[in-house]
Amino acid sequence: MESFNYIAGTLHCENTDIKAIIEKVGSPLYLYSKSSFEAHYNRLDNVLSKEKIRHLIAYAVKANSNLSIINIFAKLGAGADVVSGGEIYKALAGGIKPSKMVYAGVGKTAEEIKYALKSGIGQFNVESRSELKKINNIAASQGMTASIAIRVNPNVDPKTHPYISTGMKKYKFGIPLEQAFELYKDAESMKGIRIKGIHFHIGSQLTDLSVFNDAAKIIVEFLKKLKLSGIMLETIDIGGGIGIKYLNDEVINLDSYAEIAKRIVSVYPEALLICEPGRFMVGEGGALVTKILYIKDNGEKLFYIVDAAMTDLIRPTLYHAEHKIIPVTLKNGSGKVTVDVVGPVCESGDFLAKNISIDRMAEGNLIAVMSAGAYGFSMSSHYNARPNIAEVLVDKDQFSVIRRPETYKDLIKAEV
């Protein structure tokens, strides 16, 4: 599933020369491979089908919410995992059926709940007793019933970065199992509520299946207890979190992942399994392409100062995430140097990589920050009044701009 390859010394996305795209659209930009996105969806779809699991892949829109990308998954039959009214709006606009949407998030507002109900989303993944009451009140007052799953917190350590861990009690997400059981019982008598399922999500960038397995064991025990008490579930939502390769990451075996999923769903064999991958679907199929503006040697360190910044890709700054960085045009024989790749923003934390070994390059050369399709553009900001950059989708030897680069005018359009 390699979507980025060198052909005659120049990096290509599928069959398209990246240099040629930059000449037309300008630098920096996000570049995505359509076939990579489709291949990842199909791979997951296939392993779940092989286990004969009736399933719905609800793409976690937060990873990359560009409409054209959502639409690729909509056409493949995907649903969406959404966490805000804005994401519901974008998922609808991208062509996802509302009945295939699952709506999580610890702080749903009354307006968002109304909007979700009106849109006819598949289920609310409820994160607290107060939220359940609010959903019940709103739905009942409109003569509607809201389908819900309770997001349980199995309290296992996902062994990933603390900022992207969720399934432990020290984090704000979900409801502890001992409280969740009571809540299911109480929900049974709420007029505006229809119990539809269960949800858990223990964390993101999981590279060790044993933690998912630990969570699965806990969930299976809980499901047995629920079933015994007479609660019937139609959906079992196992969250997202499948890790991808950035540098030296191990990736999990998808067949084993599907086997674990099968074990969970077997407590309610009629139930629909929902999974919510984000990063797995779009991470490896995206790259951030940026130009070296200046090369600066301060006697102690060498800096490649590029035209992309933490405003475009904040993962290195926020999580010390390490992305592979490679030249767009190979510089054979130029030797290697150790550099920090930094952006123009007025923060020392504005870096895309630190102390990496890369070809000795020249000002004006292009580099590509790999595995940047997930949580790249979607986490971008306007800090330092930087317009957001373009997004380009490649389909074999064709490319299209799926988000134009913002202008200075865009920066002030909502302001007085």
Catalytic residue annotation = 346
Bridge partners of 126? 150
Helix (H, G, I), strand (E, B) or coil at 413: coil
Q: Which two tokens stand for residue 269?
A: 């064999």
**Token representation of residue 346:** 């007025």
Measure Cα distances from 67 to 200, 272, 314, 378, 389 in Å.
27, 26, 21, 12, 15
In the bound complex, what is the minimum distance in angstroms from residue 374's beta carbon to ligand LLP? Answer: 6
Q: Which is nearer to ligand LLP, 61 or 339 (CB)?
A: 61
Q: Is 104 in the site for ligand LLP (CB under 6 A)?
A: yes
Q: Is residue 184 involved in binding ligand LLP (CB under 6 A)?
A: no
For ligand LLP, which is the closer residue by CB, 197 or 241?
241
CB of 402 to ligand LLP, least distance (A): 20
Decide if 18 contacts 6 (C-beta within 8 A): no
Q: Does 204 bind ligand LLP (CB under 6 A)?
A: yes
Asked if 177 and 218 touch (Cβ cutoff 8 Å), the reply is: yes
**Of the ranges 228-236, 273-281, 297-305, 387-395, which one interacts with ligand LLP (CB under 6 A)?**
273-281
Query: Is residue 332 packed enough to be buried (19+ CB in 10 Å), middle (13-18) or exposed (0-12)?
Result: exposed
The 315-334 contact track toward ligand LLP, x by CB under 6 A, reads x---x---------------
| Site stretch for ligand LLP (CB under 6 A), options 250-258, 292-300, 332-340, 373-381 | 373-381
Q: Please, are residues 384 and 307 in contact by the beta-carbon 8 Å criterion?
A: no
Binding segment for ligand LLP among 185-193, 200-208, 250-258, 323-331 (CB under 6 A)? 200-208
Alpha-carbon dihedral angle through residues 373, 379, 385, 390, given to the nearest 10 degrees: 20
**303 or 319, CB closer to ligand LLP?**
319
| Phi and psi, residue 131, nearest 5° | -65, -40
The amino acid that residue 45 corresponds to is D
Q: Looking at beta carbons only, is 3 or 204 nearer to ligand LLP?
A: 204
Task: Detail the DSSP E strand segments found in 8-49.
Answer: 10-13, 16-17, 29-33
Would you say 243 and 252 are in contact if contact means Cβ atoms under 8 Å apart? yes
Minimum distance from residue 323 beta carbon to ligand LLP (Å): 11
Of 139 and 252, nearer to ligand LLP (C-beta) is: 252
Touching ligand LLP, residues 220-249 (CB under 6 A): 239-242
- Segment 134 to 173, residues that bind ligand LLP, using CB under 6 A: 164, 166
Q: What is the nearest approach in angstroms of ligand LLP to the Cβ of residue 58? A: 8
CB of 105 to ligand LLP, least distance (A): 8
* 372 to 18, 24, 141, 225, 368: CA distances (angstroms): 15, 21, 44, 42, 9
Amino acid at 249: D
Is there binding between residue 63 and ligand LLP (CB under 6 A)?
A: yes
- What totals of helices (H) and strands (E) does the chain contain, helices first? 12, 21
Of 37, 181, 280, 304, which one interacts with ligand LLP (CB under 6 A)?
280
Q: Please give the size of the binding site for ligand LLP, defined by CB under 6 A.
A: 23
Q: How far is the CB of 121 from ligand LLP (least distance, A)?
A: 14
CA distances to 308, 324, 328, 354, 358 from 302, in Å? 17, 18, 20, 10, 11
Q: Is the dihedral angle over the CA atoms 352, 357, 361, 365 positive or is it negative?
A: negative
* Closer residue to ligand LLP in complex, CB, 18/102: 102
Contacting residues toward ligand LLP, per CB under 6 A:
60, 63, 81, 104, 164, 166, 201, 204-205, 239-242, 276-280, 315, 319, 374-375, 379
